[in-house]
Amino acid sequence: MTTEQIELAQDLQDEGYSFREIAKELGVAKSTVERALKQAIGTTDEEEDEEAIIPATLPQVRQAAPEANLAVHALMADLYRQREVRQIETDRIDNRKQWFVDKVNRLIKELIKNAGRTTWDEGEVDDYILRVDTLKEKLLKFCEKHAIDEEGLQLWAVLTELVNFMTAHMKENRPWLGSEVTFNLSKEAIRSWKDNMVDEFDQEAYEADEDEEDEDEEDEEDEDEEDD
């Protein structure tokens, strides 16, 4: 793996990526990722030694070519490398954003598919809630790292609503502790969850209260017109 790939792998690991997810993002084998991350700490000193050697060799290189040409080539190479690294980082961030969107929509589809006249084991409900909570934690880490307000995202609002809904539903539809949980959502409830599907990462959270207030104001205006 290149130095840039190892640095990206370390960033991904900090964000909660698994070795398998990191390998998929970078297009390398899982074993390669594990080995590179384990060796990364041990190679720090070696990299510093290599950097110390470079200044000593530069005078010899300058003797073989005009200083002006060397400076231009070095600058162009550095700019190209920086641009390549930025593009890799941008693509990685965009891919991660889409990953969150796909994960949330998949959770909604799973709920809708199994919400009509079915029963879930209590363990299945607990597992579902755990998966939602885990995704929330990963989203929070991602947002903190990239200075994103998670509470303004529809993704965050949906994940929070999923946890609250499943927790409340289990308490209300479980005859006793350890029993199965009954699901029989109405068509309206299922339609509401479909409406919560997320189109893109930056989609803003749906402000239900504001919309309801607007609807109430419109209803009041209609009533006033009818009275007149």
Indicate the burial class of 201 (C-beta count within 10 angstroms; 0-12, 13-18, 19 or more): buried
The CA distance from 207 to 157, in Å, is 10
Backbone angles phi, psi at 167, to 5 degrees: -65, -45
User: The tokens 């070795």 sit on which residue?
Assistant: 19
Between the CA of residue 214 and those of 203, 209, 211, what are the distances in Å? 21, 9, 5
Contacts of residues 34-39 at CB distance under 8 Å and 24 or more positions apart, as own/partner, are 36/1, 36/5, 36/6, 36/9, 37/6, 37/9, 37/10, 37/13
Indicate the burial class of 44 (C-beta count within 10 angstroms; 0-12, 13-18, 19 or more): exposed
Q: Tens place of pLDDT for every residue, the chain, 228 residues?
A: 777 777 787 778 888 788 888 888 878 888 888 888 887 755 554 555 555 544 545 555 455 556 667 777 777 777 778 888 888 888 889 999 999 999 999 999 999 998 877 888 888 999 999 999 999 999 999 999 999 999 999 999 999 999 999 999 888 877 666 678 888 888 999 999 999 999 999 999 865 444 444 444 555 555 555 555
The CA distance from 81 to 196, in Å, is 41
Confidence at residue 128, expressed as pLDDT on a 0 to 100 scale = 95
User: The tokens 């074993």 sit on which residue?
Assistant: 31
pTM for the full predicted model: 0.61
The CA distance from 22 to 8, in Å, is 9
Confidence at residue 209, expressed as pLDDT on a 0 to 100 scale = 41
- 3-class secondary structure, 32: helix
